[in-house]
Each structure stands twice: as C-alpha cells, then as structure tokens.
Structure 1
Amino acid sequence: MAPSQLEIKVRSLQRLLKEEKYYQQELSEQQALVYKLKTDETVDPYDLKKQVEVLEDTERLLPALYAKITQFRDDLAQFTRSYNGAEDLEPATITLKDAENLLRSKS
C-alpha cells in the first residue's frame, strides 16, 4: 500500500532532521580536523586549505537546510490543521515538536 500524504510529509521532515544531525556531526569533526592541521607544523598548506574549504562548504549548507526544515515544518503543520483522515497524528505532532525545538535552538 502506498504511503499517505501525511506519512510522506512526516517522513520527509524526519529525514531532514536526521540529515541536520549528520551535518552537525560532520561540522564538528571537520572543525576538529582543521584545528589539528593548523597546530601541526608539518602539514602541507594545500591540505589545510582544502580541509578549510570542506569546513566552509558545510557551514554554508546549514542555513539552506534550516530554511528547508522550516518550509517542511510549516507545510506539515498546515496539513495537520486541515487533516480530516483517520490516521494517528501523534507521529506528526512529535516530528513538528522536534523540528520546532531544533529551529528554536538555532535562532
């Protein structure tokens, strides 16, 4: 059976929230690597430059991801307000709360 619109919207937002955790982990690891490379006098400057670029790419990506999470959160919230089906709305409510907490912590 195909997933319902509610399931699709909930899973999409959950996927974005999970993705954000991975990017935060990557950011943290990359910051540690760049710090380590900066303190190592034997490191090739080119290697350091490339790792700094990777770090900057990750940092640039996060605002767009937060905008997308906001968009999907708003879409799911609107959908649940007008939803008249028989499906349980608890997963949607939990996911909305998770998204709201994440976005509040980043502002």
Structure 2
Amino acid sequence: VSRVAWLNRTTILFTGNEKWSLDPRVVLLNTAVTEYSIKILNVNLYDEGPYVCSILTNKKPESTKVHLIVQASIKRTDIHRWCVEAGENEAVEMNLLAANLALYSH
C-alpha cells in the first residue's frame, strides 16, 4: 500500500497519517501496518452518512464504503453488512484491513 485516505461525503478526514479534518473527535488509530482505522468520539446525528477508505497500491486504487447510522435511543454498536449503527454520544471505529479490504466496526 502506497497511499490511503479516509473521506466522509466530500470531506477528506485523513491522507496517510496526516489529519485534514478540523474535528477533534475524529482520530486515526495506529494499529497495524495493513490496517487503517478511524475512531469518532461522541458520535452525533451530523456524523451519519457514508465513509470511504481509499487505498492506492502499486496495482490499482481500491475503495471500501461504510454507511454510519446514528440513532439517539440505541445503546450499542452493531454492524449490518456495510452499515454501522451507533448511539448518539457513543464512539465508533471504522477499520479497513488492506490485506482483504474487510471492513468491521466495534
């Protein structure tokens, strides 16, 4: 993997380790060389929507998309296919494994 970026709608959140987002609640998690994870603290209704992780390898660019759904009354985090649900004011992590482009949440 030569380059990676996280986007929300048309906003660039991170390119590599460089943060472009001004939102202090959005952080990059340094977990493994082939894993590119972001965490959003105190999720609110405005965070709802699509998130995309794009990777540029020596072969070709690839992207994985996840849709975050925020529900004010929910007290847990679930994943349904490519949708992540989180309660308002909870934290949510979105992870991308470069090895197989598997996306998961916790």
User: Shorter chain as normaliser: what TM range?
Assistant: under 0.3
Structure of higher CA gyration radius = 1
Structure with more helix by fraction? 1
Higher relative contact order (CA 8 A, sep 6+): 1
Q: TM-score, structure 2 length as denominator? A: 0.22
Structure with more strand by fraction? 2
